[in-house]
Structure 1
Amino acid sequence: MKHWLILTATLPTSPSGLRVKVWRALKATGAGTLREGVYVLPAHAASAHALADLERTINDAGAEAHLLTVQARDEAQEHTFRSLFDRAALYADFLQSAKALRHEMKSSSEVELRKSLRRLDAQLHDIQAHDFFPGTDSQKASEALAALRREIELHFSPDEPSAASALIERRATSEFQGCTWATRQRPWVDRLASAWLVQRFVDPEAKFIWLADVSDCPKGAVGYDYNGAAFTHVGDRVTFEVVAETFGLTAGNPAMQRLAVLVHCLDVGGHLVDEAAGLEMLIRGLHIRHPDDDDLLAAALPLFDACFAALKAPNDH
């Protein structure tokens, strides 16, 4: 049987400030309420440390709190504790929301669908962050979101690459100097970020061409971000991540690693990144302002420069 944290708290009815503060903190941990003033959390929960902080906060405020570590007395009590963390209803609500968004696909704009997809991402992230005993419900929800995202991408970009199954081999940048790089026209975040990565870290003299049909890729050009290209999605990595790993650009580079997570989030979803919504809005604006793809890339390069600089800077503001 697992270890459990039990927080008991006796709070004054007034003033209400402490009660509100404690309630918000408990909600953030995902703790279950055994009864009023008695809260339960699995000891293995990532938020477990917050209960110790909350115990100190309550006692420092002149109220009374005690944090205990216990094991359930028997299987029946273990079941009672676990039942406080049944997330089945939340997953069912999520799947219903995903189903509703699928029905809206034909009548909604790309901007609206991407915004709704971000909301679903956040909804699932919140559920899974407090799902301390994940099972098939969590897996089904993740698979449903991935399938929906793929449907939306194919709806607006029928030639969006599918993930290849291959090893990512390390290559030297010296092999790719003065090359022409080719990808699909109207590049979105992964293609723009990959072009920035190539021009800033691989081949400063790189030229880029934008293909209406990838079968027209010129002989000798380095194709990227389409099926059969030299650089494209591999496994769960998007093209930016593949290019970065191929040339060893993420190793020992936390800022590049964070940018890779950001691009991944915007391209195929996954781990939510605070900066994602802002970067997506700016790229969307660049798309509107620059119908020519060469102009679009020229405008996007300083945007990614600024983003990378911000990710490198100490977080002291």
Structure 2
Amino acid sequence: MIGLVPGRATEDRWLALIAHLPQDAANPRMARLRTREALGAAALREGVYLLPDTPEHRHSLQELARYLLDAEASCEVVVLESTDAEQTARLRALFDRTARYTELLEILRGLESGIGIADPTALGRVLAKQRRELARIRALDFYGSPLAQQTEERLVELEQRVRKLIFPDHTEAPLRRQQRYFRRTWATRRPLLADRLASAWLIRRFIDPEATLRWLDPGEEAPADAVGFGFEGAPFCNGRSRVTFETLLAHFDRDNDPALARIGMLVRAIDIGDRRMAEAEGVETLLNGARRRATNDDELLQECEKTFDLLYEAYLDGLPRRPERL
């Protein structure tokens, strides 16, 4: 295996991983395949994989080569240079990401047709997934496709439009403080995504323990005597910068509870697909598992209530303890 000296990448210089694995080396084969896909390497032929010469790629290929050598494979990492400009152009074409950008643009066009029809929260989550896909494509777009900026601008435009639907820029409907919220029927619409499930849990745990919950079909009006939540036009719904859970917290003076406020931040992160909050993805996975287990919406809430109960206890445990009085 050739030792490589880090240097400045040039357009006509390449790194090649040349590997031959034993027939029974299943694990190294999978490692090679996954690493090749993750790095965006091009296959010149079976066992020969090419990448532009950069310090990051040198390090990654060296690490993979060491792993393969430990698995008793024959493996070398070498530096190659193009013989002429035509060969450079042919090799660069192996890393053309136009097809992936085009595919993503087609997906975005399809999502645009759903704006104003589909649930905006669901659209927001799908757009968050496409945002992560765009990041993966750009990370492997070594030569800067002209479609990169076009795709970015298109995605930003759709994100802004959907965000306005999730957090409408309007004054929330006035709520009379003297209105009674005990033993009431509370109604929200399907599908029961994170904000609606968390809000239903909040209502039963902290607002109206004897509440009756009703699940409405999309477009179905809530009964006249029900308190609506979690959909446009309901007394409790998303605001300019809050999800329904946070709206409920504020109205019922529960936003001074740090554990509940933390759950509100978590719910907002899940609903808009923000992965900067560490536990958001894990909690979303648990909610998806509850959907698979439950046979109806009442069972779904029962399963999800366990998750939110545990989150509340965990966040309480993470708060500073008050000193005990002597």
Question: Are 2:91 and 1:86 aligned?
Answer: no
1:89 aligned partner, one-letter code: A
**Cα–Cα, structure 1 residues 67 and 15, in superposed 2: closer, same or farther, change >3 Å?**
closer
2:49 is paired with a residue whose SS is strand
Question: Are 2:95 and 1:95 aligned?
Answer: no
Kept in 2: contact 1:4–1:42 (CA 8 A): yes
**Cα–Cα, structure 1 residues 272 and 148, in superposed 2: closer, same or farther, change >3 Å?**
farther
**Cα–Cα, structure 1 residues 268 and 108, in superposed 2: closer, same or farther, change >3 Å?**
closer
1:80 is paired with a residue whose SS is helix
2:78 is paired with a residue whose SS is strand
Question: Are 2:129 and 1:119 aligned?
Answer: yes
Offset, 1:151: 1.1
Kept in 1: contact 2:125–2:273 (CA 8 A): no
Q: What pairs with 1:1-317 in structure 2 (closer than 5 Å)?
A: 1-2=10-11, 3-44=13-54, 46-159=56-169, 275-278=279-282, 306=315
- Give a deviation string over 1:288-313, Cα, whole Å, max 9, x none: xxxxxxxxxxx9xx97x959x79xxx
1:24 aligned partner, one-letter code: R
Q: Could you tell me which runs of 5 or more consecutive residues in structure 2 were left unpaired when the two chains were aligned.
A: 1-9, 171-235, 253-264, 287-307, 320-326
CA separation in 1, counterparts of 2:66 and 2:114? Answer: 48
1:133 is paired with a residue whose SS is coil
Alignment RMSD (CA, Å): 4.3
- Give a deviation string over 1:176-212, Cα, whole Å, max 9, x none: xxxxxxxxx85679658xx9xxxxxxxxxxxx789xx
Kept in 2: contact 1:7–1:65 (CA 8 A): yes
CA separation in 2, counterparts of 1:85 and 1:272? Answer: 30
2:51 is paired with a residue whose SS is strand
Instruction: Give structure 1 regions of 4+ aligned residues with deviation exceeding 6 angstroms.
Output: 262-273, 279-282
**Cα–Cα, structure 1 residues 92 and 101, in superposed 2: closer, same or farther, change >3 Å?**
same
**Cα–Cα, structure 1 residues 16 and 280, in superposed 2: closer, same or farther, change >3 Å?**
closer
Q: TM-score, structure 2 length as denominator?
A: 0.52
CA separation in 1, counterparts of 2:131 and 2:51? Answer: 25
CA separation in 1, counterparts of 2:148 and 2:274? Answer: 14
Q: Could you tell me which runs of 5 or more consecutive residues in structure 1 were left unpaired when the two chains were aligned.
A: 161-184, 196-207, 211-259, 283-298, 311-317
Offset, 1:157: 3.1
2:75 is paired with a residue whose SS is strand
Q: TM-score, structure 1 length as denominator?
A: 0.54
**Cα–Cα, structure 1 residues 73 and 190, in superposed 2: closer, same or farther, change >3 Å?**
farther
Offset, 1:278: 4.7
Count, aligned residues: 212
Larger Rg: 2
2:19 aligned partner, one-letter code: A
CA separation in 2, counterparts of 1:140 and 1:58? Answer: 40
2:165 aligned partner, one-letter code: H
CA separation in 2, counterparts of 1:33 and 1:271? Answer: 33
1:69 is paired with a residue whose SS is strand
**Cα–Cα, structure 1 residues 125 and 12, in superposed 2: closer, same or farther, change >3 Å?**
same
CA separation in 2, counterparts of 1:267 and 1:140? Answer: 26
